[in-house]
Structure 1
Amino acid sequence: MKMSVAGVELPDSALAQAAFHYVRGVESAMLLHHAQRAFFFGALTGYRESRTFDAELLYVGALFHNVGLHARFDRSPNRFEVDSANEARNFLRAHCVDESAAADVWNAIALHTTPGIPEHMSALVALVGAGVQMDVRGARYHEFTMQQRDAIVQAFPRERGFKTKLIDVYARGMEHRPVTTFGTVNADVLDRWDPDYRRLNFCGLVLGSEWPN
């Protein structure tokens, strides 16, 4: 059944439905709703900026962007974004999606927490990042109308205490692989959440390297 929210139609192709059912099986309702809101905010950003983008792939990218926080990746050597991107690419390959499209989704997910880069890449990379950042930290909040924001949140509610709950989910997804947070916003999460966490410092690594000068 087709669903439209804030003037954006939710993809309902076989691929979109398969992606939804896959992610619903591994994520909480809170994260699933966050991912769906991110799709709508990303799509609205694309419309506002007159970008050409594939709504189906944007939906898949938004759905999968936090899958790497799942407990089965606890001991992964990768950033959670990379594990999320790998899962999305594997899913798309299994559904015979073109390799270049799968690579674009991979980039969008892998870079969605990297400030200053996504907006200079493809529309898909830019819009996945924009949608996620709007829902997480209110990036460009006032570029969306109150009616748009309210419609999206009514369709896909933000749980009470969403902000602190989201930080907790991020932290639990990274607490067993703290080294992967070096140089990323993820270090901020563990720094606030874990009193025993100690950041790696780039300058310290340079000055403390084995090079004599």
Structure 2
Amino acid sequence: MFPETPAAVAALSVARRFYSPALLNHCVRSYLWGTMYGTAHGIAFDDELYCVSALLHDIGLTEPFDSHRAPFEEAGGHLAWVFGVAAGWPAERAARVGEIIVLHMRDDVSPATDPESHLLQVATSWEVVGRRPEEFSPEARAEMLARHPRLGFGAEFLACFEDQARRKPDSATAASVGNDVAGRIAANPLEDRRPA
């Protein structure tokens, strides 16, 4: 499922240690949706780099790594750079993982320019607000959610975003909250609407 490299294995260990079960499954699904989309569209990408980026992209939302000044994606990008250097990557490769994490909250990036950032943008926007539903068949959705359930991800993620927006009013997260991310999360076809 994941690349069997020391950095990918270590990123999964970090994710398991610091994420809630819902955020962990979200990051795993983000990796898997992105690889599914990339394969379907013939996008060549660095699997290890994408995997580490997907697994660590929300680390800045966790209490141990939350920055009270920097937007969560920037805090996560800085931590990912430290992670990459500690994993033995050259500084340029470590900088790339940080860049991918920051760009996942920015405007769309072309797959020709930056395939890993494009994949993370597609996967996370599908995961959070249901963007590009035509890319993921009902069968793929059912299989993914059976293996890696959402576990209340929508509500937990919205609470994280609202907290970030209150404390960081100039962030992309605050803009997202202002643009009705709550309504878009609720309308996401991946959200479980069965009665409790």
**TM-score between the two structures when normalised by the length of structure 1:** 0.76
Match of 1:84? 76
Q: What residue in structure 1 maps to residue 193 of structure 2? A: none
Structure 1 pair 151/69, CA: closer, same or farther in 2 (3 Å)?
same
How far apart, CA to CA, are the structure 1 residues paired with 2:150 and 2:93?
30
Q: Distance in 2 between matches of 1:192 and 1:45?
A: 26
Deviation at 1:14? Answer: 2.1
Q: How does 1:80-159 map to 2 (within 5 A)?
A: 80-117=72-109, 119=111, 121-159=113-151
Displacement, 1:42? Answer: 0.7
Q: 1:47 to 1:95 in 2, by over 3 A?
A: same
Change (3 A) 1:185 1:174: closer
Which sections of structure 1, spanning at least 5 residues, go unmatched? Answer: 1-8, 194-213
2:155 aligned partner: 164
Larger deviation: 72-81 or 102-111? Answer: 72-81
Cα offsets for 1:45-72 (capped at 9, x unmatched): 1112211112121111011111111224
- Aligned counterpart for 1:62 among listed residues 54, 62, 68: 54
Task: State whether residues 67 and 75 of structure 2, in contact with CA within 8 Å, keep that contact through their aligned partners in structure 1.
Answer: no
Displacement of 1:11 in angstroms is 2.1
5+ residue gaps in structure 2? 182-196
Task: Give secondary structure in 1 for the equivalent of 2:18.
Answer: coil
The alpha-carbon distance between structure 1 residues 110 and 141, as it changes in their structure 2 partners (threshold 3 A), is same
Corresponding pairs, count: 181
Inter-partner Cα distance in structure 2 for 1:53 and 1:72: 30
1:189 paired with 2:144, answer no
Could you say which residue in structure 2 is the equivalent of 1:20? 12
Matched, 1:179 2:163: no
Runs of 4+ in 1 over 4 A off after TM superposition: 190-193
Question: Which residue number corresponds to residue 6 of structure 1?
Answer: none
Q: CA deviation at 1:38?
A: 0.4
Larger proportion of helix: 2
